[in-house]
Structure 1
Amino acid sequence: MPKISSIKDLQEAAKEKLSKGTYEYYTYGAQDMLTTSENCAAFDRIQIRPRVLRDVSKMDTRVKLFGRTLDSPIFVAATALQRLAHADGEVGAARAARRRNVVYSLSTFSTSSIEEVAKESRNANLWFQVSFFKDKNLTLSLIERAERAGFAAIIVTVDMPYSGRRLPDIRNPLTVPPHLSFSNFEPVSQSKHTDQEEDEWIGHHVVNGVEANLSWDSVTWLKRHTRLPLLTKGILTPEDARLAVAAGVDGIIVSNHGGRQLDSVSATIESLADVVDAVQGKIPVLFDGGVRRGTDVFKAMALGATAVFVGRPNLYGLAYNGEAGVNLALDILNEEFTLAMALSGCPSLKDINRTYVQHALAPLSRL
């Protein structure tokens, strides 16, 4: 295989290494995958308006969030079952994020536990993603464990009262190998006396345990029960952005779940500016969905994002070469992003604004 030089190269390499079921689980979205495709395609309808003759001899990509200074605004998103890609799994990805001094967010449905990731990554900049479970004590216990382990923020997913209709999951349901498990549920289920009972307990909470009877009061309730900054992930409209601010959250992540929930919703990059305007600078707005190039990061930052998350590029990096593959993915994106900043005349993040982008009359086309 030629040298890996882009996230697209990593995806092709990952496809060769992963089983068909795992690749489809990681890559595919809901139904016709219109939104999954649009998340990437919408970036191509945005052009960069570079400025010239600016001093870009010294570049600064640092960003401050919740009292911490991070070296880049490119963070690693929470995704489930990362050890399906490689034995390094969540631990390896967290170590790669630590090397870059950026945020790594851990999914509730991970194959490495909260405590293991914190210990083995030596307390990287860790955020924990949690869902609302019907068993409120389970939700709170997961958050309390994250707090004790040294995590720095909580992300609550708000766009998943039910799982989206993903056709590969229906046609050929993913089977988790016996040597892997949803590790964050094991300590809670230790009172079970047999392996079968434990499997049934975990399966119930993973498949059927997410609460559908939710409101903004649910977010307010969760906010009262954590001392950490709380971000809502899954906001796409200015109406919900204003409600999030009113509920007292500390940040918003504009996301459509990678197109894995409701198909035909807008691309996240198309929703970003409206959410940023609605928030009026009161809390940071982060971005998730479709980032495959450093120029994508630049466009999201220009439209008001404080930072961006990458999910599938992390999984492709893991599949390619474990922790080293995630290092490569982050290196590629950061190199491309820094170059985009320099060639656009922006030596620091604070220089990037909406004057640097415009919607194209006709979409650009990626080779």
Structure 2
Amino acid sequence: MTVQDFETAARTRLDPVHADFIAGGAGDEITVRANEEAFRRLRLLPRVLRGSAVRTQEVTVAGSRARTPVLLSPTAFHKLCDEEGELATARAAAAAGAIMIVSMASTVAVEDIAEAARGAGADGAPAPLWFQLYLQPDLEFTEALVRRATDAGCTALVVTVDSPVRGAHERDLRNGFLDLPDGLRCAHMVDPHEGGRVRSIAMSPEISWAHLDWLRGITSLPILLKGVLHPEDARLAVRHGADGLLLSNHGGRQLDTVPATVELLPEIRAAVAGRVPVVLDGGVRRGTDVVKALALGASAVGIGRPVMWALAEGGEKGVRRLLELLREEVDQALALCGACGVQDLTPDLVRAPAWGPPPLPLPGADTARPGGVVS
């Protein structure tokens, strides 16, 4: 009945080491917790007597139309959760009319993911697919990945820019989870020119705006930057030709103690001044979270860990149910806020108390969560 239910059920099915990989973040996981806590502290202030028998959730982001404002953020290694991996996820996303961002660290190749999604939509229409990219020091290899994504039918590129080095995931280090199990690999890192050798995804400390300019010169696809948190960087992104932003702190998996993304949303929206769409990623667990983010100016929201929990709990059916559940919750929240659709959501519907510590639990309340914190 809730996203939390998927998480609880998934933990009974997953290898505990893999569950920790999905749930964990960097350092003390302060940002992991903050993403959800920030949404809980926001309050909705509904309007009344503005009803409509039908409410719409359709959005268009960076030229891609979707039947839901909830898109699937890029997450790695879906075959840790289900033997079909990203194929099952793609079919579920297509059925919901949701944009899926294919991870560069996918365990299934983008060509096969696109084929799985093709025709899986409820109306038979092609499902929108985007491709997430870490710019590699080997620009020739990077360009080949861009061509593969384009040829497979992806309609946008999402470039992760918050990872010059890897965040320190202490859970994984303690668990000794340093590589994929036998039989799994990063499908996009297989180099056909080197006898099928599987490359490692290289983090690039030297990545700069010049690399974005280079990428802009080799592709006509819309480019969205994932991981821009500072308003000045948002302004620079627009100047350098970015077509959108994915406002994300990497789910707390890179630099710990950065703010929750929903806290930063008003500043980022003001910085881009409506020139490009802003998709918010991080901590979305309820339909009310979706409505809050859209009211504060997000064009759509992304979910990551919930997709993995749903995939582990029920494969394709699990992800379908997750997206249906969020759609139902968004519809209910729209009706109760007096909105005929997502286009009617405005900042005056949200009250943001001072961003202080979360309220203390009620006496006797059970606040424990199985297996530790998840964001």
The two structures share one fold, judged by TM-score above 0.5:
yes
1:86 lines up with 2:79 in the alignment: no
Does the 8 Å CA contact 1:164/1:261 hold for their aligned counterparts?
A: yes
In structure 2, what is the equivalent of residue 233 of structure 1? Answer: 226
In structure 2, what is the equivalent of residue 39 of structure 1? Answer: 35
1:296, 1:100 → 2: CA distance?
19
1:100 lines up with 2:96 in the alignment: yes
1:213 lines up with 2:206 in the alignment: yes
Q: 1:330 to 1:29 in 2, by over 3 A?
A: same
1:260, 1:65 → 2: CA distance?
25
1:91, 1:311 → 2: CA distance?
16
2:11, 2:347 → 1: CA distance?
36
Q: Deviations over 1:235-288 (max 9, x none)?
A: 112111001001101000100000000000000010111000110010111110
One-letter code aligned to 2:184 = L
- Report SS of the residue matched to 1:75: strand
- Find 2:247's aligned residue among 226, 251, 254: 254
- Find 2:194's aligned residue among 166, 191, 203: 191
1:88, 1:325 → 2: CA distance?
13
Does the 8 Å CA contact 1:152/1:228 hold for their aligned counterparts?
A: yes
In structure 2, what is the equivalent of residue 326 of structure 1? Answer: 319
- Find 1:53's aligned residue among 49, 55, 59: 49
2:247, 2:342 → 1: CA distance?
19
In structure 2, what is the equivalent of residue 124 of structure 1? Answer: 127
1:178, 1:115 → 2: CA distance?
23
In structure 2, what is the equivalent of residue 140 of structure 1? Answer: 143
Does the 8 Å CA contact 1:40/1:290 hold for their aligned counterparts?
A: yes
One-letter code aligned to 1:301 = L
Does the 8 Å CA contact 1:63/1:73 hold for their aligned counterparts?
A: yes
**Matched pairs, number:** 352
**Counterpart mapping for 1:1-367 below 5 A:** 5-122=1-118, 123-174=126-177, 175-186=179-190, 188-189=191-192, 191-192=194-195, 198=197, 201-202=198-199, 205-206=200-201, 209-360=202-353
Shift of 1:173: 2.8
Shift of 1:190: 5.0
Shift of 1:298: 0.6
2:105, 2:60 → 1: CA distance?
28
- Report SS of the residue matched to 1:127: strand
Does the 8 Å CA contact 1:88/1:318 hold for their aligned counterparts?
A: no
Does the 8 Å CA contact 1:52/1:345 hold for their aligned counterparts?
A: yes
Does the 8 Å CA contact 2:55/2:335 hold for their aligned counterparts?
A: yes
Shift of 1:132: 1.2
**TM-score after normalising by structure 2:** 0.91
2:278, 2:103 → 1: CA distance?
20
Shift of 1:191: 2.9
One-letter code aligned to 1:61 = Q
Unaligned 5+ segments in structure 2 are 119-125, 368-375
2:211, 2:325 → 1: CA distance?
39
Q: 1:218 to 1:295 in 2, by over 3 A?
A: same
Runs of 4+ in 1 over 3 A off after TM superposition: 360-367
1:321, 1:211 → 2: CA distance?
36
1:178, 1:170 → 2: CA distance?
19
- Report SS of the residue matched to 1:159: coil
CA RMSD of superposed structures (Å): 1.5
Shift of 1:67: 3.4
1:283, 1:185 → 2: CA distance?
31
In structure 1, what is the equivalent of residue 122 of structure 2? Answer: none
Does the 8 Å CA contact 1:288/1:310 hold for their aligned counterparts?
A: yes
One-letter code aligned to 1:7 = V
One-letter code aligned to 2:117 = S
Q: Deviations over 1:271-322 (max 9, x none)?
A: 1110001100101111100101110001100110000000011000000010
- Report SS of the residue matched to 2:351: strand
Identity of aligned residues (%): 39
Q: Which structure carries more helix by proportion?
A: 1
Q: Deviations over 1:110-157 (max 9, x none)?
A: 100011101122152100000011111111111110000101100000
2:62, 2:315 → 1: CA distance?
29
